[in-house]
Amino acid sequence: MLLNANREAYDDLREKFSLSRIYPQLVSMNATRGLFQQSFSYLIAGEMAANLMPILQSVFFALVICLIFVVFPMSMLPGGYMIFKTWITLIIWVTSWPVFFTVIHCLGMISW
């Protein structure tokens, strides 16, 4: 790995002075390795999201439920129906996360 890095650095230096590359196959090898690492980073990010999503859903749901102490008094004011309706919509939105996450996860597994 280190030897290939030195060879490619030497080739880059030669290319800087408009000379031909001695090891042109290293460019395609490193491009392939970069694509491989990029696809692995997407897989790792997906696994991290799979582990973090249930925790985030629980935290957001708890926060939305705690908003009842703000929403209920404000719903007694004129136009409070819209505030209450928005709060109910937030609850429905947060509780639908597992369903949407399952669909997205399924689509991601099909593509691999």
Q: Which of 94, 97, 90 is nearest to 71 (CA)?
A: 90
The model's confidence at residue 29, banded by pLDDT at 50, 70 and 90, is low
Q: What is the span of the domain harbouring residue 34?
A: 2-111
State the pTM of this model. Answer: 0.59
Instruction: Tell me the range of 24-33, 40-49, 68-77 where mean pLDDT is highest.
Output: 68-77
Given a cut of 90, whether residue 4 has pLDDT beyond it is no
3-state secondary structure of 77: coil
Q: What is the mean pLDDT of residues 38-67?
A: 88
Given a cut of 60, whether residue 35 has pLDDT beyond it is yes
- Give the model's pLDDT for residue 74: 92
Given a cut of 90, whether residue 69 has pLDDT beyond it is yes
Angle at 100 between CA 97 and CA 104, to 5 degrees: 130
Please give the residue that has the higher pLDDT: either 43 or 90: 90
Q: What is the mean pLDDT of residues 19-43?
A: 71
- Give the model's pLDDT for residue 22: 65
Q: Which of 39, 40, 41, 10 is nearest to 27 (CA)?
A: 10
User: Structural domain tally of the chain?
Assistant: 1
Query: Which one-letter DSSP state was computed for residue 60?
Result: H
φ/ψ of 54, rounded to 5, equals: -65, -35
